[in-house]
Chain A
Amino acid sequence: MTSATTLTDEQRYGAGLAALGASPGVLRKFLDGYAPGEAWEAIARGRHRADPDRRYRDKAVPQTLDTVESACLRSGVSVMVLGHADYPPTLAADRQAPAVLFSTGDVAVLENRPRVAVVGTRSATHYGLGVAADLGRDLARAGVVVVSGLALGIDAAAHAGALGVEEGAPTVGVLGTPHDAVTTRSQAALRDALGARGAVLSEIPPGVHSARWWFAVRNRVMAALAHVVVVVECHHRGGSLHTVAAALARGVTVTAVPGSVRSRASAGTNRLLVEGAVPVRDVDDVLTAVELCVVTRPHITPPSRPRSLSRSPGSCRRPPPLTAAQSRVQRALDHDPATLESVVRRSGLALGEVALALEALADAGLAVGAQGWWSRPSG
């Protein structure tokens, strides 16, 4: 992690420009033909051609610079300005690349490696969380950088899966908030782990209040970074569809994990499949898509495909012997979560029997339960 004790003038003015609160497009115009220092000076004097109404003149005061600089130093965030040597070249090539980027960790991990964005809903099912974690794990093993949004649900599961692999590929998180935004404990832990093992990017300077629209805007960064986008679970009009739209605009392959047609959390992904997205059953399908993509880019190391990753149905494990009641309860379970009530009715047993059988099935990994909803385990 680069922890500078002070910012260069360029970084300082770059961060200051980002802190003016302009949209990413306007920010790019600020720096179009101006060095950061010049741009700042021009805005402060009301003479910048990208700010004809002088909307940002009042904010372009030395105090803004001091505040954002101290916030950057306090949270250990490095500042990168588009067009300068330290800015990640991968991202710099994008038409809508953030003009100023704030990062922790090592952004060099983005280069020369295949990158896959694993995205999805926060309100995920067991199934989605399990698939996301498996994909994260297997992609990290195959040497693929997992890019995701650090939200709860699918994003967090994918990152956790990737981080669980020792000596695996680095992972990258793209925040829709500043680096120092208040989050839950689990999210903060994930953010720290990612900083140590890869990089965390944000285009919002620390110490600034973020707005909701940033989440949609940052999705273009994920799409720009990825060679392949995998949507694991997504609701009918979920936020992941922003990422999909941005990926399609860039010609990035979009893949989706099929789900139950009755599951609301899979409504968006199933529609993507109908519309022509590549279906993904497991990491092999993703790796195939990645290989097709990187074959034209010789500087990228193709993913390694360990033999153990060849498709193997999970059922090769010998199932433990079940009692009559247990197998009746197991038959009553479905891949869609059902209330205890439904399990009791479908099995036709007394509640006590069902409860006992569910305990045993859960111990044997044959049933998954949370908040009183039960289903068969995924995979």
Chain B
Amino acid sequence: MLACIPSATLYGVDGRPVSVEVHVSAGLPGFTIVGLPDAAVRESRDRVRAALLSSHLSWPSRRVTVNLAPSGVRKSGAGLDLPIAIGLLVAADVVPSRCVEGTAFVGELGLDGSLRSVPGVASLVAAIDAEQIVVPAAVSAEAALVAGERVRPASTVAEVVAALQGRCPWAETAPLEAPKAETKEPDLLEVRGQLVARRALEIAAAGGHHLLFVGAPGSGKTMLATRLPGILPDLTRDESLEVLRIHSAAGSTALSAALARRPPFRAPHHGATEVAIVGGGTSWLRPGEISLAHAGVLFLDELGEFPAPVLDALRQPLEEHVIRVRRARGAIDFPARFLLVGAMNPCPCGEGGLPGACRCSDVMRRRYLRRLSAPLLDRFDLAISLGRPDVEDLLDGPPGDSSAVVAARVHRARALAHDRGVRCNSELRFDTADGPSTLSADAAALLERRLRSGTLSARGLHRVRRVAQTIADLDGAPGVDERQVAEALQLRSARSTLMAEVGQ
């Protein structure tokens, strides 16, 4: 009269094991679910009933109690439909209990008895410790990436029951879809002129340095930013899996069908809410845009238009590569290691970059920059002013290197960083004894002059050194010289005025 079926529920991007206990006893017919179910789980009673009846399986007209253990964890989503249905059949003696031994179940039921895919199946099966795991056929490939041979795909509840009773064999796991001929990423070849901005993109990609473009409308900020993923190195298998898990947990089917090889690019609109950007939500804590950009690029166009709380929420993930979402109902850490590219106009009229050209009042300028905080601006290692490209450049300017050529240089620079024991130079630490190669005397003198004149802060010093190291790596230089430091200083020059205005 009692069945206990292992399954899992999604908690952020991770799965949590859940044991579905079904008890069928004499008494007035009824159906109760306990153990902190959310609305989707509570409604599973109607789905399970319809699915069993349309599959010509019995629905016991007795007292049914379903407990989802551990009862302190809130369960969400419809993925517990299948384990509840199977538990019911076992408790009602339709399926002998020995048939389900060591088998876990995940899946949502349709009223016709079909099995529907659930978000985050990769994370769910990773949390389950069972000999075999039955999953909807539609997501079996994704599950197999994590659980391999243990996955048992099925497309209807009748098929599951037949296989459990040994009447027919389990279906084959669908082979993992080969990555679709990936949509061609925009190429740097299409950018005319913009030597400095191209260089900044290359340095950002090689060293993982966050990048800010400040420029008038039409100076090509967006065009440049969309070309950054194209010069980033391919994802490693671990990164791909992580990206897959995050996107799958967010309910995005586009990526979960295939293991992505290329870093994701996310460009949320500035109207997005804080929850949409950092993650969270009322019923189901789901990853936000910054987690969807994990291992890739987060592009915030019109940085000054984003609500101040959203921008301030970025500070922690930028530092720790993780966003800790705290809600009354629970605390979740979402991975969020992304390369941030910001683009903004220098002021509301857009002309403020060129000294003397701005038509805005002081109040307008201050209001526009009010949302940017100094700590956020401080996170950008690279900040450059863009002017509108020259007409000659647009018509027949010399095309620069293609993305493939730049990507090769980026790859070499990253390999050098790897030898230093970091993923990329932005993670270098200079306060430890085993820091990277030291500065030349000229370079140190230049930095000292800047420090003494007050145009460089202590924190800025480390950032400049990291960028200079990346430049040296890209140039194949043996050490960091005055030239690299001067370049690194120039590539953050747009920051100073913004800081001055924000600091007021």
Q: Which residues of A contact B (CB under 8 A)?
A: 121-128, 151-152, 184-185, 233, 235, 263-266, 337-342, 344-345, 351-356, 358-359, 363, 369-373, 375
Q: Which of B351, B359, B361, B385 contacts A339 (CB 8 A)?
A: B385
A235 touches B359 (CB 8 A): yes
**What's the Cα separation between A233 and B193 when bound, in Å?**
32
- Docked Cα-Cα span, A122 to B193, in Å, equals 32
Contact partner of A352 among B352, B386, B484, B498, CB < 8 A?
B484
Excluding A353-B483, A355-B491, A370-B497, 5 further A-B contacts by CB distance (< 8 Å) are A124-B356, A235-B359, A264-B351, A341-B195, A352-B484
User: Do residues A341 and B196 form an inter-chain contact, with CB atoms below 8 A?
Assistant: yes
Verify A373–B446 contact, CB threshold 8 A: no
- Chain A: minimal CB distance from B456 (Å): 12
Chain B, residue nearest A236 (CB): B359
**What is the minimal beta-carbon distance from A371 to any residue of chain B, in angstroms?**
4
**Distance to closest chain A CB from B395 (angstroms):** 15
The 8 A CB mask of B463-504 against A (1 = contact, 0 = none) is: 000000001000100000011101101110110111000001
A-B contact count (CB 8 A): 116
Closest 3 CB pairs of A and B: A265-B356, A372-B385, A125-B356
A121, A265, A341, A352: the one within 8 Å of B475 (CB): A352
Complex interface: chain B residues within 8 A of A373 (CB): 353-355, 385
Q: Is the CB of A351 within 8 A of B359?
A: no
Taking a contact as CB atoms closer than 8 A, the residue among B357, B484, B497 that contacts A265 in the complex is B357
Complex: chain B residue closest to A356, CB-CB: B486
Contacts of A356 in B (CB 8 A): 482-483, 486-487
* Chain B contacts to A: CB under 8 angstroms: 193-197, 199, 214, 346, 351-362, 384-387, 390, 446, 449, 471, 475, 482-484, 486-487, 489-491, 493-494, 496-498, 504
Contact B487 A351 (CB under 8 A): yes
* A122:B355 contact, CB within 8 angstroms: no
User: With A185-B504, A344-B195 given, is the CB distance from A358 to B486 under 8 Å?
Assistant: yes
Nearest chain-A residue to B349 (Cβ)?
A: A123
A372 CB contact (under 8 Å) in B358, B384, B482: B384
Instruction: Check A340 against B384 for contact (C-beta < 8 Å).
Output: yes
Q: Are B196 and A123 in contact (CB under 8 A)?
A: no
Q: List the B side residues contacting A338 at CB < 8 Å.
A: 387
Name the distance in Å between B384's Cβ and chain A's nearest Cβ.
6
Q: Are the CB atoms of B493 and A340 closer together than 8 Å? A: yes
Pairs across A and B, CB under 8 Å, 18 listed: A122-B361, A124-B355, A125-B356, A263-B356, A265-B355, A341-B196, A341-B387, A342-B387, A344-B195, A345-B193, A345-B390, A351-B490, A352-B486, A355-B489, A371-B346, A373-B353, A373-B354, A375-B355
Contact A123 B195 (CB under 8 A): no
Q: How many angstroms between the C-alpha atoms of A125 and B358 in the bound complex?
A: 10
CB-CB under 8 A for A352 and B358, given A185-B504, A339-B196, A371-B497 = no
**Neighbouring A residues of B361 by C-beta, 8 Å:** 122
Contacts A341-B386, A358-B490, A371-B496 hold; do A351 and B357 have CB atoms under 8 A apart? no
Residue of A nearest to B492 (CB): A372
- A345 nearest CB neighbor, chain B only: B195
Name the A residues within 8 Å of B494 (CB-CB). 371-372
Q: A121-B356, A341-B197 are in contact. Are A355 and B487 (CB under 8 A)?
A: yes
| Residue from A126, A184, A341, A352 within 8 A of B355 (CB atoms) | A126
Residues of B within 8 A of A233 (CB): 356
Q: Knowing A184-B504, A355-B489 touch, does A123 contact B360 (C-beta < 8 A)?
A: yes
Which residues of chain A are within 8 angstroms of B196 by Cβ–Cβ distance? 339-341, 344, 351
| Complex: chain B residue closest to A360, CB-CB | B486
Q: How far is the CB of B194 from chain A (nearest CB, A)?
A: 7
Residues of B within 8 A of A185 (CB): 504
Using Cβ atoms and an 8 Å threshold, which residues of chain A touch B504? 184-185
Q: A345-B195, A351-B487, A371-B214 are in contact. Are A123 and B358 (CB under 8 A)?
A: yes
Chain B positions within 8 Å of A353 at CB level: 483
A351 touches B195 (CB 8 A): yes
Q: How far is the CA of A314 from the CA of B67 in the complex (A)?
A: 88
Cβ A337 vs Cβ B355 within 8 A:
yes
- Chain B residues lying within 8 Å of A359, measured Cβ to Cβ, are 446, 486, 489
A123 touches B486 (CB 8 A): no
CB distance from A323 to the nearest CB of B (A): 13
Partner of A371, one of B482, B484, B487, B493: B493
- Chain B nearest CB from A121 CB (Å) reads 7
B489 proximity list for chain A (CB < 8 A) = 355, 359
The one of A127, A264, A363, A375 in contact with B357, judged by C-beta atoms closer than 8 angstroms, is: A264
Q: Enumerate chain B residues within 8 angstroms of A128, measured Cβ to Cβ.
A: 356
Contacts of B346 in A (CB 8 A): 371
Cα–Cα distance between A160 and B383 once the two chains are bound (Å)? 30
Cβ of B471: which chain A residues have Cβ within 8 Å of it? Answer: 352
Does B355 contact A351, Cβ atoms closer than 8 Å?
Answer: no
Task: For the complex formed, measure the closest distance between the CB of B188 and the CB atoms of chain A, giving whole angstroms.
Answer: 15
Q: Which residues of B contact A263 (CB under 8 A)?
A: 356
Contact in complex: A371, B197 (CB < 8 Å)? no
Q: Are A341 and B358 in contact (CB under 8 A)?
A: no
Contact residues in A for B357 (Cβ distance below 8 Å): 123, 264-265
Task: Kindly state the separation between the CA atoms of A145 and B194 in the bound complex, as whole angstroms.
Answer: 48
CB neighbours (8 Å) of B486 from chain A are: 352, 355-356, 358-359
Q: How far is the CB of A320 from chain B (nearest CB, A)?
A: 16
Chain A: which residue is nearest B360 at the CB level?
A123
Task: Give Cα distance in the complex from A377 to B482, angstroms.
Answer: 24
**Which of A152, A264, A352 has the most chain B CB atoms inside 10 A of its CB?**
A352
**How far is the CB of A340 from the nearest CB of chain B, in Å?**
5
